[in-house]
A and B are shown apart, each in its own frame.
Chain A
């Protein structure tokens, strides 16, 4: 990364801002996940409550400052998502890997997302996080990827990894990949 830092420094782009969307069904762990990424001092220690509408969170990874739109996953707020598709540079799609039943709903929402006119034309990275890997009946990332037919997304870079938002396990790997993708785009 040292070389990259120097390069960016040479171009005068020392710090970069990126707007990303955090999407996923309700109770998939979006807010908990972002809470894990935040600075130690602004973390919420008590229980995370269901988000109403959306929250804006800021966090930093390497030299990229992220502005994350933590969208509510509740059915009635999902219509809000598409209003933010226009100016986002990355998407984190959180999936509850223990919820086999609603995987069909996840697929539905994903279809709506990638077929949306604001998203189709854009080449933005999508990071899938198969959350709740600590639960007993969680599915593997391969199984989720195949049941969501992720292989059909060919015009956008995507990556899937399993996480545990409570402990932060696996989260860094995913964010690393996203940062890399966004940096590559800036170059």
Chain B
């Protein structure tokens, strides 16, 4: 679809799902009318004046892949029954890799078994050809710099190839092998003079390709997969799946990184004559379970502007639209298309400095260093002379503090009866004659309105005397006014006259309740003893 102004201008049906679209100047005729290049499957279709102008078809694959292709063709030609064919193809895919099979084979293998028969009836007679699929396309000026000059198309494919197409001669001028399947690609320079290409591949690495250089340099390996890539004069910026917005220089070292609020979807750089190093990022954030789009405008690391959009943004482009106005055009996930124009009086001055994840900001922080006073000088001298003593003293007090912490923690474990805002009631009972006893306990939330989650029950006991079978009991949540019963067996190993077990109720890592259960004194005497203990935690709200 082609839009003019705010209304639909023309509509053309494409043969396949397009993977990339760009405008391109194909010749030097006047007046300068750009053509529209659409990458579809293995073809680049070029339209002019809303009519098909010509198409490039990328050459079929060569070298290493021919072997698998020929085997595959043989398999298909034999026309065995479906089951056999699928089996043979599966073997082939294990041997050569699924991605090297032709698209009909891939389709067949990925299909439901019952649909395969039908598929073969319809397409079984066709010849097997391995097609290349375009993943990414960009353009570069061919002869000279400037606006509205003849441009070349750079196309990357699923088979890790890079093609340079010349629209003037309608031919492929260059073909290179690259180390991965390109997801995003930006080019700068002039094709016949000097240019470079920065591209990210599926595994999250970013490479740089230069004219006249055989080697393709790996600039960086990203921490997360890239969503969009853009070039800004002497740096490139990337938005990632981990919601970071990062900037790298052309040598591949990171300049800064900003954590975005939401998942970014698209990135664009403003042209330098409007404002230098100004980036536009579309993000989708979830607020109260509603996903909404936010557009951020950053100048370097400074947040300049925030624009809220009611619906989640799918993608956007930024650039001149119509009569030289800077337009921001985005479409939302439910199919809406919106155009926003940049105000002429827009200021790209100061904004809020954003906290960066990189090191650059940390270097900028001014440290508060007081002036050297007399005491300070004396102290330094003393520190220098008596460093050993001071260190020993420090260690001692450090140990002391550790002990103190441990003691108070232990104390809290044994004596804690206070909870923050919940009222829990614990009732415990020892049943049995011994040496095997049963501990039965009831936990009740006496709070009326609070639901407790992540509650666990554990025991504090002398491990030489007792062994508890189920020493850790987890209670996912405690509903108010309902008694939770739990039980565990306790084995008594030694005959000790008097002993007790601490029951501890924890919430996450915090002890909120503890109760002491007195164990029967003479276990083997045959007396059944009931020990009832109730601990009620006051509600402190």
Contacts and interface: CB of A to CB of B under 8 A. Distances in A.
A62 to B, nearest CB: 35
Nearest to A104: B341
A115 B217 CA distance: 56
Contacts of B322: 99, 101-102
A25 B5 contact: no
A101 B6 contact: yes
Interface in B277-336: 321-325
B225 interface: no
Given A104-B341, A109-B344, A99 B324 contact: no
A13 interface: no
B344 A100 contact: no
Contacts of A109: 344
Interface string A104-124: 110011001000000000000
A137 B325 CA distance: 21
Contacts of B341: 101-102, 104-105
B439 interface: no
A25 B322 CA distance: 12
Interface in A5-47: 25-27
Given A75-B344, A108-B344, A102 B324 contact: no
Given A101-B5, A101-B339, A137-B7, A27 B323 contact: yes
Main secondary structure of the interface of A (DSSP, over half): loop
B344 A99 contact: no
Nearest to B345: A112
B343 interface: yes
Interface in A119-144: 137
Interface string A51-74: 000000000000000000000001
A100 B7 contact: yes
Contacts of B6: 100-101
Interface in B4-48: 5-7
A100 B345 CA distance: 21
B321, B323, B339, B344 pick with most chain A CB within 10 angstroms: B323
Nearest to B324: A75
Interface string A90-107: 000000001111101100
A78 interface: yes
Nearest to B6: A101
B323 A26 contact: yes
Interface string A157-183: 000000000000000000000000000
Given A78-B344, A105-B341, A108-B344, A99 B325 contact: no
Contacts of A25: 323
Interface centre among A25, A75, A109 (most CB of B within 10 A): A75
B218 to A, nearest CB: 42
A109 B325 CA distance: 13
Contacts of A137: 7
Contact of B325 (A75, A98, A100, A112): A75
Contacts of A98: 5
B325 A105 contact: yes
A164 B341 CA distance: 27
Nearest to A79: B344
Contacts of A105: 325, 341, 344
A131 to B, nearest CB: 14
B26 to A, nearest CB: 25
Interface in B395-453: none
A104 to B, nearest CB: 6
B323 A102 contact: yes
A10 to B, nearest CB: 48
A78 to B, nearest CB: 6
A137 B149 CA distance: 33
Contacts of B345: 108, 112
A105 B340 CA distance: 10
Contacts of A100: 5-7
A100 B6 CA distance: 7
A76 to B, nearest CB: 8
A102 B324 CA distance: 11
Interface string B341-378: 10111000000000000000000000000000000000
A101 B343 CA distance: 13
Nearest to A50: B323
A88 to B, nearest CB: 20
Contacts of B344: 75, 78, 105, 108-109
A102 B7 contact: no
Contacts of A108: 343-345
Contacts of B5: 98-101
B325 A102 contact: yes
A36 B321 CA distance: 29
B58 to A, nearest CB: 37
Contacts of A112: 345
A44 B90 CA distance: 76
Contacts of B321: 101
Nearest to B273: A76
Contacts of A102: 322-323, 325, 341
B324 A74 contact: yes
A41 to B, nearest CB: 31
A72 to B, nearest CB: 12
A78 B6 CA distance: 24
B157 to A, nearest CB: 37
A27 B325 CA distance: 12
A109 B7 CA distance: 23
A158 B446 CA distance: 76
Nearest to A78: B344
A112 to B, nearest CB: 7
A75 B271 CA distance: 15
B155 to A, nearest CB: 32
B2 to A, nearest CB: 15
A139 to B, nearest CB: 12
A89 B322 CA distance: 32
Nearest to A100: B6
Given A25-B323, A108-B343, A137-B7, 9 more contacts: A74-B324, A75-B325, A100-B5, A100-B7, A101-B5, A101-B321, A101-B322, A102-B322, A108-B344
13 contacts: A26-B323, A74-B324, A75-B325, A99-B5, A101-B5, A101-B341, A102-B323, A104-B341, A105-B341, A105-B344, A108-B343, A108-B344, A109-B344
| CB-based closest 10 A-B pairs | A101-B6, A101-B5, A100-B6, A26-B323, A27-B323, A75-B344, A75-B324, A105-B341, A78-B344, A108-B343
Interface of B: 5-7, 321-325, 339, 341, 343-345
